Amino acid sequence: MTWLYVSLMFHLIGVGMIFTLLFAGPIIEANFRWENDIRMKQHSAKLLRSVGLLSPFGALVLTLSGIGNMVSLHIGFGDLFGSAWWLGLKLILFVILLAIGMVISPKIARQRAMLLDQINQINPPEDSSEKLDVLNGRQTVFFLVNWVLVLLIILLTIFKP
């Protein structure tokens, strides 16, 4: 077994970790929205945050194995913007995906957790349901953007121009 095969195996493991998030996130989000009991909503929100903790590990595995793939295939950094420009574009899309996942998703999760805590109080804010709807909409956009970026990365992988 060569280093390329080992690196490819770990790359597939990283892809599996990211796809776990891409599939589990919207399912847990749907459960969050369908649930009427505030405590169950809080539980779904915590579960979504827990599943989200997998993303840094998936990103690390993908990054390290991607570097391993490049080394094994003798692709240099200069090639990413030359002959292997499609790979450079994949890298840029992956960095955007990581940035969005590290900044936007945790922010939405914190805001929703604080809002759910406020709703669970004796005197919840009057506009809490509207605020929750706005945060839910942001979460939906986040999931859609993630899927679009991942699909673009997959298309670039399949149809290497």
pLDDT digits (tens, 9 = 90+) for 95-130: 999 898 888 888 998 898 889 888 888 787 888 889
* pLDDT, averaged across the chain: 89
22 touches 84 (CB < 8 A): no
Query: Mean per-residue pLDDT for 32-43?
Result: 86
pLDDT digits (tens, 9 = 90+) for 52-61: 888 889 999 9
Distance of CA 34 to the CA centre of its chain: 22
The residues spanned by each domain of the chain are 3-158
Per-residue model confidence (pLDDT) at position 50: 83
Of 132, 155, 131, 152, nearest to 36 by C-alpha is 132
pTM passes above 0.95? no
What does the chain look like in DSSP terms, one character per residue?
Answer: --HHHHHHHHHHHHHHHHHHHHHHHHHHHHHHHH--SHHHHHHHHHHHHHHHTHHHHHHHHHHHHHHHHHHHTT--GGGGGTTTHHHHHHHHHHHHHHHHHHHHHHHHHHHHHHHHHHHTSSS--TTHHHHHHHHHHHHHHHHHHHHHHHHHHHHHHHT--
b (16+ CB within 10 A) / e for 12-43: eebbebbeebeeebbebbeebeeeeeeeebbb
